Amino acid sequence: MKVWIDGRIVDGEDARIPVTDHGFLYGDGVFEGMRVYRRKLFRLDDHLARLEAAARALDLRIPGGLPGVRQVVLATARAFDRDEAYLRLVISRGSGALGVDPTTCPSPRLVCLADEIRLYPEDKLLAGISLVTSSWRRPSPDVLDPRVKSLNYLNNALAKLEARQRGADEALLLNAAGHIAEASVANLFVVRDGVLLTPPATDGALEGITRRSILELAGRDGLPAFERTLGRFDLFAAEEAFLTGSGARIVPVGSLDGRPIGTGSRPVMERLAKAFERLTEEAGTPIDAVDEGASATIGG
């Protein structure tokens, strides 16, 4: 693992943050998870735009501004020096006094990690992962807006823990109304009567960048695709279901609560997955060709 911290890149085991950081103490901060495919960082500017929106929502200053952060991300990816990688960009509120008050934290902290990630066992990527409906509901936007990719991921972590303890790979989270929000850290799609459907962000989903790419690719392909409020019924009745995310990529859903989902064949998902692979080539920023000068200006 390589980590950008305090203005330089170090090995993972040498990266340290003070225990007074409010990201650690209170989950106060935002993050992005991004992927490098064949030495190209997928949709970097979309990730940065989402990060900026989340930071604004928390009234959190982005250290060095977005152009600087862009260079930090690319420099970290380059230092990790692999064709395939996962990048985790974190902006925490920074160090402050004990007590939740963010105004005691003068300097937000920027950290960027580059490593490998594997969310599900390799064999499940073909066979389909198992989901269980979580007993934890996704918080409503007036509690904690799920569109903010914040460091407060306790809801996601507890849903995942419950799913694992129940012997499943992944959790399906419903919102307070019982409608599907998403999985713990991935968006959900179903195919019904040849139509691609995914819950709207207002039902408790993150506006995923992989999700948006899949909707775009469906449009290009002439496949009808809509955001629609969905229930468990739609999964049980689906021809196909799959998850999307920067960490997860495109993962078929094999079962929900012990019942098989879909017909077993996944022509729509497979077509979209192929198109997505081509898109990672088109919509990627090469990690090797960047302006070295800009990264030196970031303090971290």
Q: Which residues are at the interface with ligand PLP (CB under 6 A)?
A: 33, 149, 156, 182, 185-187, 206, 208-211, 244-247
CB of residue 47 to ligand PLP, shortest distance in Å: 7
CB of residue 292 to ligand PLP, shortest distance in Å: 28
CB of residue 7 to ligand PLP, shortest distance in Å: 27
CB of residue 142 to ligand PLP, shortest distance in Å: 18
Token pair listed for 164: 């694992």
Residue sitting closest to ligand PLP (CB)? 208
Of 175 and 210, the one with the shorter C-beta distance to ligand PLP is 210
Of 6 and 228, the one with the shorter C-beta distance to ligand PLP is 228
Of 76 and 184, the one with the shorter C-beta distance to ligand PLP is 184
CB of residue 209 to ligand PLP, shortest distance in Å: 4
CB of residue 214 to ligand PLP, shortest distance in Å: 9
CB of residue 18 to ligand PLP, shortest distance in Å: 26
Nearest residue to 55 via CA among 24, 77, 19, 23 = 23
Nearest residue to 96 via CA among 23, 15, 6, 150 = 23
Of 95 and 150, the one with the shorter C-beta distance to ligand PLP is 150
Q: Concatenated DSSP letters for the chain?
A: -EEEETTEEEEGGG----TTBHHHHH--EEEEEEEEETTEEETHHHHHHHHHHHHHHTT---TTHHHHHHHHHHHHHHHHT-SSEEEEEEEE--B--SSS-GGG--S-EEEEEEE----S-TTHHHH-EEEEE-SSPPPPTTTS-TTS-BS--HHHHHHHHHHHHTT-SEEEEE-TTS-EEEESSSEEEEEETTEEEE--GGGT----HHHHHHHHHHHHTT--EEE----HHHHHT-SEEEEEETTTEEEEEEEETTEE-S-S--HHHHHHHHHHHHHHHHTEEESSS--HHHHTT---
Of 231 and 247, the one with the shorter C-beta distance to ligand PLP is 247
CB of residue 157 to ligand PLP, shortest distance in Å: 11
Of 48 and 209, the one with the shorter C-beta distance to ligand PLP is 209
β-strand partners of 86: 35, 115
Of 102 and 247, the one with the shorter C-beta distance to ligand PLP is 247
Of 2 and 149, the one with the shorter C-beta distance to ligand PLP is 149
